[in-house]
Amino acid sequence: MKAMLFLNNTEKPVAVLDEVAVVTMNDNHKSSPSRITYKSHKLNASRTMIELRNHDRMLVRLEDGRSGSVLLQHSSLDMEGNAVGVLLVMGDLQV
């Protein structure tokens, strides 16, 4: 599944996520149990380095129509130069 990441109050995506998966953690994570793992070859689509905005809430829009507020929890590079990481979902993903 694909997704796009937006800063609040912007219409242009700041990141295009090529492969995403929604993961629900076990009962040790009661307040925010959902995470989104991502892989992207074009993470910074709009010259905004989201790695430096990890304290700002962003909006994620998944290809299946769900969306929600997220925080960047982890970001790194894989061996092929793709950006990989984890987004912390704040609350629930809405349809």
Burial label for 2, CB within 10 Å (0-12, 13-18, 19+), is middle
Tens of pLDDT, residue by residue over 59-84, are: 999 999 999 999 998 989 999 989 99
Q: Which amino acid would we find at residue 94? A: Q
Q: What is the pTM of this model?
A: 0.85
Averaged pLDDT of the chain: 86
Quote the tokens at residue 63. Answer: 């290809």
Band of the pLDDT at 33, cuts 50, 70, 90?
confident
Whole-number pLDDT of residue 52? 72
First to last CA, the chain: 15
